[in-house]
Amino acid sequence: MGDEWGLDTARRVEPRLIDTTVPNPARVGDWLCGGRDNYTADRTAARMVKSVSARAAAVTPAGRAFHQRAVRYLAAEAGLRQFLHVGTGLAADGNTHDVTQSIDPSCRVVYADPDPVVLSHARALMKSAPAGAVGYVDADVGDPGAVLAGARPTLDFARPVAVLLLATLAFVDSTAEAAAIVSALLDPAPPGSYVAVCHQASDLDAALHVVVRWWNKVSSRPVTLRSGTEVARLVSGLELVPPGVVPICQWRPAPGDPRFDGEVPAYALIARKP
């Protein structure tokens, strides 16, 4: 692929806001899932990941499949109608509002991300059904206060909210801080609210450590891997939805999910605020 794609979301963002020489997590993930909103540095990084570990490269598509299962569970089974998706990513379809509003058109969704390409993509393509609402917040997972402030015009925190943190907390280097962020995001929401998490694993694929050491040298957003025990600590005090904290492809797999060779090195969970 060349770099002349005039209609891509990345090209609609003001150039001064994008550093195309440094790989970006959302754009690398976009390439790994067959997307077009990426640059040469992103494709180079993605190919490096695949060359070191095919299982590491599978984290993004496995995460997208878990996202579909999670929001369907939250909307169809748990009955949630409000969603706060922190760390939006780049996807042409199957986004949170697509899935939830297909179940109930009145669902309200807020996307929060600090990346200008991601926000441009969201504003251009992520449009609400007339009965619901979609909002966008320029805020990072590391600033839950800003995330919540931006979400309040769209979400009613007197009613249950589902918080989605999908491959997002790995950008927080302290496990204690990451757990505090989960707590802060759920704090204003009432009992019966939920959080869904997927997180890159430190104990499922040794090759992922090689990938992350390289990534942390070249990217402006370093990644911290966590074990299953550490991921469970992120939701301490919440009620885990069965099957609990498990490798990502084991969380209520669906017949249409992609298939991968070996264990994908990421954990997934959904937990309820009691």
Across 32-41, 108-117, 137-146, 215-224, least confident range: 32-41
Report the distance separating Cα 31 and Cα 127, nearest Å.
Answer: 23
Using one digit for the tens of pLDDT, what is the confidence trace for 157-188? 999 999 999 999 999 999 999 999 999 999 99
40-46 contacts at long range (C-beta below 8 A, 24 or more positions apart): 40/3, 43/1, 45/215, 45/218, 45/219
H helix intervals, 75-234: 96-103, 116-125, 144-151, 175-186, 206-218, 228-233
Report the distance separating Cα 194 and Cα 205, nearest Å.
Answer: 29
Using one digit for the tens of pLDDT, what is the confidence trace for 59-71? 888 998 999 999 9
Task: State yes or no: pLDDT of 126 exceeds 70.
Answer: no
Specify the residue for token string 């909210």: 161
Q: Are 23 and 218 contacting, i.e. CB atoms less than 8 angstroms apart?
A: yes
Report the distance separating Cα 126 and Cα 137, nearest Å.
Answer: 13
Domains and CATH numbers, the chain: 9-53 (no CATH), 57-272 (3.40.50.150)
pLDDT at res. 52: 74
pLDDT band at 118 (very low <50, low <70, confident <90, very high): low
Question: Residue 248: helix, strand or coil by DSSP?
Answer: helix
DSSP character at residue 250: G
Written as six digits, the tokens of 184 are 């802060």
Using one digit for the tens of pLDDT, what is the confidence trace for 228-273? 999 999 999 999 999 999 999 999 999 989 888 889 999 999 999 9
Report the distance separating Cα 59 and Cα 10, nearest Å.
Answer: 23
48-52 contacts at long range (C-beta below 8 A, 24 or more positions apart): 48/211, 48/214, 49/211, 49/215, 52/207, 52/210, 52/211, 52/214
pTM of the model: 0.86
pLDDT at res. 50: 75
